[in-house]
A and B are shown apart, each in its own frame.
Chain A
Amino acid sequence: MNELEKKIKAKIPGEDTGIEIKRSLCAICSPGCHCGLDCYVKDGKLLKVEGTLEHPYNRGKLCTKGAATRNYIYREDRVRTPLKRVGPRGEGKFEPISWDEAYRIIAEKLGTVKEKYSPHSVAFFSGYCKWYRPILHRFCYTFGSVNFGTDDSTCFKSMDIANSLTIGAPGGPNIPNTNTFLGWNYGGYYSNHLSVGPVQALKERGGKVIIIDVRYSPAAKNFADIFLQIKPGTDGALALGMGKLIIDNGWADMDYIGKYTYGFDKYKELVQNYPLDKVCEITGLNPDDVFEATKLYATNGPACINFSASALTHRINGLQTHRAIICLGALTGNFDRPGGNVPSFASYIHKRGGFTTREMEFREEKRPFDQLRIGETRFPAWDEYCDEFQAMDLLRQIEEETPYPIKAIVGFGMNAKMFPETDKLVKAFDKLDFFVDADMFMTYTAKYADIVLPSCSSLERGEMKAYEGGYLAFTKPAIPPLYESKSDVDMLCELARVMDLDDDLIKAGYEVCCDWMIEGNGVTVADLKASDLPVKIQTAKPVVPGAYLEKGCRTPSGKIEFYSKAIAAYDPKYGLNPLPDYVDPLFDENDPETKEKYPFHMIAGIRIPNTIHSRVHEVPWLRSLRPDPLCEINQEDARNLGINDGDAVEVSSPYGTVRLKAMITAKLQPGVLAMAHGYTEANANVLVGRDHLDPYSGYPGFKSLRCSIRKY
């Protein structure tokens, strides 16, 4: 090999090698992330990726999934053309059709459902990767349907609602200025890789870290000064017990409580029911450890708490558990102070850039109000704080057709495996007159659709994206769209034209819509596109801790609410509690028969490095890291059941059964099982009952359910 050949083989960018670095972003996981990507491109082909060092968000870093981008976008099951189903639903038999034909069929079918039933009988549903949501949401409203739904029905939003009820704002931990980080359910490494650096820095400057988790995770090993390995779903009891310790030991900040909070006396009364010995009985923790952890959090301030978007709220007591945890910040005066939990609001699609866009107005101006959304009136807190339908009621409404039928679904990246009793949901699709799904891949869900539209990846399109620190970006395609795929927003704008929707903005195209949404910030899409990196927005303001409390919280009382006035106002028929009391995470599965038959506590949906929801299980490089779906089981339990590492096991619940392999570990406590979700051949959510739901938010108890396990 000569020098040039060596350079080409090593993929060194340069004129001589013909390899160019093009900037894009990774959109594999939640839009709360989306790391900047350096794409090594030659002749329109992607050769490799790296994180963009100059990117203000990820500073060169990528996680395992993002590192596999090349293998992800060149997956063999990419949808190449628009497709029309020719076999039974789910079989996966399709024939290619043209874009024009696809649009024509969609327009006709949606029009028919609208005429025969009503526009609300068409449900619009978005899964990952969310970037097109403002357009789809408005499209749905312009079409005339109240039914826009997303994976928010099972992810993030329950925590967000608990925040709104209690403090009226989101409140992330301000780790760079803290002394003590209470890493409640904090995993970091496998789910939010950029959160790890600040915790490492905290440890290096002598700060303290408490980790509370059901698993002895890498974060527990690498960071914990105190590790509380808690029984699954009992976190609410722990939080109330900690509240009592804080009050009893005089660690509460009474000035702060007097000035900024509401309902303290009632809360104080409530926590009397949670003395340390009782709390330790419920949680399985050692009283000394709980005392030390509480003392550390309450006295070594400023202290902040990890707010868990999924792990805690994926339990049917989850919303109240999160409320109970927020209350600790209120008790100790750690909410809205430097180094505590600091409120900041989203600028655009979950990203907090410190500036405002008209994302909300963009859809609100078209919103219809002439029908109840799917699930409306079932979960009062959801109804009040979220303008989407609660998808956990979708299956019931398709089946029962009450209060009105659902006859068509317009899905973008829809993931049926997100739904409890997935098998029943896909069966119910038979009752639909029409189902269109746009996706990059021929997914489990897409196989049930009548029409499948090929979406391109983030590398093949331009998209607008806000970033922390006051940044906004508009990416340019690093490579052209593969095959006949298109950007999701282009599909929507083109379809709006074919359907002649009454919406000049959407018909004018994505970039015009973006310009409309960012108006008032002193930049245009054209300005953003002129830069390869995110652009600093002049209107962006840094968060000033304390300012929010001084202005008054966005809660009914204007204060932090130990006692929620909003919950108190809900119809008593729901039986909801304005105080964040604890209930058993299995309260609906505790009858003696179920207990005996299904003795294990299953956590369905743990994070592992090489998967995220259902999105990358079929990426060969990532799959190679853990080729089989695994059920983790404690070594003593395994010994008692005669299960060896790697044995084929069958896991059952009253609702379904999955077969996978056993992984024996000491990281889990006896009596607990854990598995990752999203596998087609071992879909965790067939184990979850459709009514195993949090009565406040409608969130499924994915991470606390009863199961049995046996060798087969």
Chain B
Amino acid sequence: MKHVFTFDPDRCCACSSCMIACTDQNDIDLKAGEKCFRKTYDTEVAFKEGGIYCAYLSTACMHCEDAPCIAACPVGCISKDSDTGFTIYDNTNCIGCKSCAMACPFGAPRYNGADGKMVKCDGCYIRVKHGMKPACVRACSFGALDCIMEEEYRNSGSDKACNVLIDQANLRKKEALRRWR
């Protein structure tokens, strides 16, 4: 039951409910300087020809199919969960070398304040294995963020898988935004 995270920028508003849910689920200690595994963006992209595109985005680990972070880790902390396909980790042996973060194109790995060990979004794979949605997905009121079975994703004909989304978001929207600006 491989799963895919999907994201629809036309439904997002950068409300960050997903971030709060991730913080709640993972006991992220903001006071100690820890950072949420998910991050939202409320950005205005200005066009050369005038007008703006308001980008509302939410990103976390993309759970890349061919995840460069796995090979980058010298002590083998990172692996693929065979059920969900998510990029998970066991940081018992982590030496805090940050090689994974250097290899990750999205800056997904984070480091604990206390012991300097790597932590990251694990797709809430234990929840998913128990038939629950990832915490962030569960908190999105607007259907912007979802996590569905790979089969369902392929059948839907959607192009909104997180790991292919980055290049598309801005380009596809240009037309709509020009109208009122």
Contact = CB atoms under 8 A, between A and B. Distances in A.
A218 B42 CA distance: 10
B17 A227 contact: no
A621 B30 contact: yes
Contacts of A68: 20, 24
A67 interface: yes
A667 B54 contact: yes
Interface residues of B, number: 37
A625 B11 CA distance: 20
B127 A227 contact: no
Interface in A211-229: 216, 218-222, 224, 227, 229
B36 to A, nearest CB: 8
Contact of B20 (A1, A67, A193, A196): A67
A196 B142 contact: yes
A624 interface: yes
Given A62-B139, A64-B17, A67-B139, A48 B24 contact: yes
Interface in A21-69: 48-51, 60-64, 67-68
B15 interface: yes
A7 B31 CA distance: 25
Nearest to A9: B126
Contacts of B52: 216, 666-667
A190 interface: yes
Interface string B134-146: 0100110111000
Nearest to B19: A625
Contacts of A386: none
B180 A224 contact: yes
B106 to A, nearest CB: 20
Nearest to A8: B126
A11 interface: yes
A424 interface: no
Question: For chain A, which range describes its interface: under 10, 10 to 19, 20 to 34, or 35 or more residues?
Answer: 35 or more
A514 B94 CA distance: 58
Interface in A184-199: 189-190, 193-194, 196-197
Given A63-B17, A218-B56, A666-B44, A229 B31 contact: no
B143 A200 contact: yes
Contacts of B13: 189-190, 218-219, 222, 609
A218 B14 contact: yes
Contacts of A665: 44
B20 to A, nearest CB: 4
A620 B30 contact: yes
A49 B15 contact: no
A49 B181 CA distance: 40
B138 A624 contact: no
Interface in A221-277: 221-222, 224, 227, 229
Interface string A55-89: 00000111110011011000000000000000000
Contacts of B138: 50-51, 60
A155 interface: no
A67 B31 contact: no
Given A62-B141, A218-B56, A667-B44, A190 B24 contact: no
B15 A10 contact: no
A625 B16 contact: yes
A6 B17 CA distance: 24
Given A10-B127, A61-B141, A229-B180, A666 B20 contact: no
A136 interface: no
Contact of A193 (B10, B11, B15, B44): B15
A12 B17 CA distance: 20
B141 A63 contact: yes
Given A189-B142, A624-B30, A666-B46, A62 B180 contact: no
Nearest to B24: A48
B25 interface: yes
Contact of A621 (B15, B20, B127): B20
A60 B132 CA distance: 13
A106 to B, nearest CB: 36
A390 interface: no
Interface string A199-217: 0100000000000000010
27 contacts: A10-B25, A10-B126, A12-B132, A48-B24, A48-B25, A50-B135, A62-B139, A62-B141, A64-B16, A70-B24, A193-B142, A194-B141, A200-B143, A216-B180, A221-B54, A224-B180, A229-B180, A609-B13, A609-B14, A609-B16, A621-B20, A621-B24, A622-B20, A665-B44, A666-B44, A666-B181, A667-B54
Interface of B: 10-17, 19-21, 23-25, 30-31, 44, 46, 52, 54, 56, 90, 124, 126-127, 130, 132, 135, 138-139, 141-143, 177, 179-181
Given A190-B15, A197-B142, A221-B56, 5 more contacts: A7-B130, A51-B139, A64-B17, A194-B141, A609-B17
